[in-house]
Chains A and B, each alone.
Chain A
């Protein structure tokens, strides 16, 4: 396979994301919904599927599922639970209660930071299964294992399955979709969205077609994607695999494939012919779920501002494009209020975004007034970029007044004449480099900036030095 292959094919991806809802109790019983407890301690007759037990729907789980739907611009509709029938030891009843052709949340979309929009087909409710550990033999899979252990603590935990339209065209976009979805789920309090704990799990449907083609190719469904990184790697692998087949004149087989993280490849689990017939039918132990208008309105009113809307507001206030990467980063870090406050206090929007995105990604958040103060000093030219970052670091570490910190560090703006003299000295000392700069080799500017910095003990402003160099070149 050649590196050019992928560019000759268009990747078409739809994602199914299973999200565990952050309820106190399970979907159909009062058992604790908690990760990491002693196995089989959060169980009862209902979630163990004991004979005679019956499910009772958790109202809070419905509310969280409605929040998910509203955040994805879905239409929240009267819905029905079905039974999805198949045998597996981690499923106590040997059927899963899920929603089928009448899901709670219908349609919708997700706007990504890069400005693209991915359609949402549906977001339906269902119960999680238990967790099986296969011991010995078959590499962690049931066939060939010596024995298997099942933990039913997870059985009956409420899930929302969010199914996207096949609108995703690159692995980067797929990763951005999942990251944005996680941000939304956390923002609305629906889930902790921790992939490492399995509270967010992804299946990817992947196919290829020639750019410009309308019809979709045959897809493969990839399972066992346990991180955003795995998702990206698996999609890249799958594109190469499918392209290889298509270019060799072999068809892509509709099948379910398993991503092996260690080997970095997917392998066939079962083909379409071997696919289960789930024999869906309406769950007779539950009644139809039709949230009232009042309930829906209450849930809608209580929704927080979503990341996409926060990005729009922040970009507008900072005077930059909504797709600016720093905007997404600041919102992701939850620093938009800080930046908005700084801008309101007179700091430059661009500068505030960049400093927040790059200097405040870790550690404490500084006092908003002090943050604005540093930015103003930098914007006025009283601090160089390097000095401003140093003051900011001190603010984050110990707090204090930016003016006092700058003074203590000796960061007083140099007299313009001192810098100009240092620039002229540097040019005179390096005629060869100067000739290259004059000839258009812009990167040589860094050499001169370094010399001037050394001569001024780091107090010169790099930008001012570059500007002076350009002046000298024009004045020749």
Chain B
């Protein structure tokens, strides 16, 4: 598969047509989409028209931008003007946003060609993409297995060559975990580095948009396009983002990297072995790697399931049938609300709304929401302590390789444990990247995770690139 960096370079130079690029990817879609179901909507006609426009601009001597002609898939919780945005939920049936998300506008402005909206766990709640109202996505490496989630469609689309790049969202690991399970690169940027405007909210204080790519360089290319201040998002970092593409060759000489002891507990040996291999490779490349304890990370999973559900219970209140999306009639307005939400939301979404509502209720707020916020503070402090001695941290992404469809759907708690290694970064607001690092039993991909302090994406990308080179 041609990399996004190569595609953009060739299209900008007129060496290859964007139309040819998009046809190659649409052929891949035609070949396997029925089997994998990575997309909720394939935008074939729009993609061809978009590619032709890029080619026309190149022919006219214009530069369409750093993503010229690169096919990009968008998670279906990113608003696209005039194009259905479902969050893989029945409740948004028929809704077409009147605006593009900031990240969508930025990739379009950079010359990318949007090929479709990808499947996901409903409202990004899940770790397997089995919670989609439109049926699960399957793992391109083994279609009997899940691609991970919640951005499973985006991960599968890149892994299957349906798109050169994809955007996902990561609230507790929803980019990194499916990236690991599908053998692609996935990045959760620092909270505030990438605009959330137009990302349909799951848990506002944790949500962050980020790239999926076939390589570290491709991920850096996409992140460089979407990162940077957006006045429409009050939580956006108010200064320019440094280029990650520019530092990929800088190496890891002298970097201090800690392997997080707590995040190796309960991890499958074949996954833990790849983390050790990655540690050895970085050490060999000149970094100083050793094990480090970050004890408070063990609080992350429980704190997350209080905070994320609390915010979700409020964020998802607006889907009430009054203004857009699904409406199921009732005798009065309360009955309409009840009937609409009963029919429109899936079981996992309902479970989390109930959990979050309970956590915020009078008399329970301090024991749940308040306590979870205190745990969040402890986690941030624990990372601060670690980053006083280390530039980066190393950890697994997931406890196991991709699991079979249906293996965890009966037990939500087991499913929640899929995100145990990724959640701490969301609670801290820190960046982290999942880099494919070999295969496990059955040829299933294994990823390792590099964690960095806030806004240290460039250091993180230096190590990710070095790790990738060590495989070659």
- CB neighbours (8 Å) of A48 from chain B are 323
**Complexed CA–CA distance, A287 and B313 (Å):** 20
Q: Which of A92-100, A245-253, A319-327 is near enough to bind chain B?
A: A92-100
**Complexed CA–CA distance, A87 and B198 (Å):** 23
- CB neighbours (8 Å) of B200 from chain A are 51-52
Interface residue count on the B side (C-beta < 8 Å) = 45
Chain A, Cβ-Cβ closest to B92 = A51
Interface residue? B360 (CB, 8 A): yes
Q: Check A52 against B314 for contact (C-beta < 8 Å).
A: no
Q: Check B322 against A285 for contact (C-beta < 8 Å).
A: no
Interface residue? A57 (CB, 8 A): yes
Q: Check B317 against A93 for contact (C-beta < 8 Å).
A: yes
Interface residue? A54 (CB, 8 A): yes
- Contacts known (A48-B323, A51-B97); A287 close to B234, Cβ less than 8 A: yes
Chain B, Cβ-Cβ closest to A85 = B314
- CB neighbours (8 Å) of B98 from chain A are 45, 50
- Contacts known (A50-B97, A51-B92); A281 close to B323, Cβ less than 8 A: no
**Complexed CA–CA distance, A93 and B317 (Å):** 7
Interface residue? A143 (CB, 8 A): yes
**Complexed CA–CA distance, A94 and B325 (Å):** 15
Q: Check B232 against A56 for contact (C-beta < 8 Å).
A: yes
A152: min CB distance to chain B, Å: 9
- Contacts known (A281-B310, A286-B234); A51 close to B197, Cβ less than 8 A: no
Interface residue? B85 (CB, 8 A): yes
Q: Check A284 against B205 for contact (C-beta < 8 Å).
A: yes
Q: Check A93 against B318 for contact (C-beta < 8 Å).
A: yes
- CB neighbours (8 Å) of B337 from chain A are 87
Chain A, Cβ-Cβ closest to B231 = A56
Which residues in window 320-365 of B have CB below 8 A to A? Answer: 320, 322-324, 332-334, 337, 357, 360-362, 365
Q: Check A95 against B317 for contact (C-beta < 8 Å).
A: yes
- Contacts known (A52-B198, A92-B318); A284 close to B333, Cβ less than 8 A: no
- CB neighbours (8 Å) of B322 from chain A are 89, 150
B338: min CB distance to chain A, Å: 10
**Complexed CA–CA distance, A436 and B287 (Å):** 116
**Complexed CA–CA distance, A54 and B103 (Å):** 14
- CB neighbours (8 Å) of B201 from chain A are 51-52, 285
Selected contact of B360 from candidates A94, A150, A281, A285, CB within 8 Å: A281
Interface residue? A263 (CB, 8 A): no
Q: Check A87 against B234 for contact (C-beta < 8 Å).
A: no
Q: Check A285 against B204 for contact (C-beta < 8 Å).
A: yes
**Complexed CA–CA distance, A83 and B316 (Å):** 13
Q: Check A87 against B317 for contact (C-beta < 8 Å).
A: yes
**Complexed CA–CA distance, A178 and B314 (Å):** 35
Q: Check A284 against B97 for contact (C-beta < 8 Å).
A: no
- Contacts known (A85-B314, A93-B317, A279-B314); A51 close to B85, Cβ less than 8 A: yes
Selected contact of A279 from candidates B197, B231, B357, CB within 8 Å: B357
Which residues in window 276-300 of A have CB below 8 A to B? Answer: 277, 279-281, 284-287
Interface residue? A55 (CB, 8 A): yes
Selected contact of A284 from candidates B92, B99, B204, B324, CB within 8 Å: B204
Contact with B along A49-63 (1 / 0, CB 8 A): 111111111000000
A357: min CB distance to chain B, Å: 50
Q: Check A54 against B232 for contact (C-beta < 8 Å).
A: yes
Which residues in window 27-73 of A have CB below 8 A to B? Answer: 45, 48-57
- Contacts known (A89-B333, A277-B362, A284-B205); A54 close to B318, Cβ less than 8 A: no
- CB neighbours (8 Å) of B365 from chain A are 279, 281
Which residues in window 259-275 of A have CB below 8 A to B? Answer: none
Which residues in window 144-202 of A have CB below 8 A to B? Answer: 148, 150
Interface residue? B79 (CB, 8 A): yes
Interface residue? A142 (CB, 8 A): yes
B201: min CB distance to chain A, Å: 7
Which residues in window 194-211 of B have CB below 8 A to A? Answer: 196-201, 203-205
Which residues in window 306-341 of A have CB below 8 A to B? Answer: none
Q: Check B204 against A52 for contact (C-beta < 8 Å).
A: no
**Complexed CA–CA distance, A85 and B316 (Å):** 11
**Complexed CA–CA distance, A93 and B205 (Å):** 17
Q: Check A52 against B97 for contact (C-beta < 8 Å).
A: yes
Q: Check A284 against B311 for contact (C-beta < 8 Å).
A: yes
Interface residue? B369 (CB, 8 A): yes
**Interchain residue pairs with CB less than 8 A apart (18):** A50-B324, A51-B87, A51-B92, A51-B97, A51-B200, A53-B197, A54-B232, A56-B234, A85-B360, A94-B317, A95-B314, A95-B317, A150-B322, A279-B314, A281-B310, A281-B311, A285-B235, A287-B234
Other 7 A-B pairs with CB < 8 A, given A52-B200, A83-B314: A51-B92, A54-B196, A56-B231, A142-B333, A279-B365, A280-B360, A285-B234
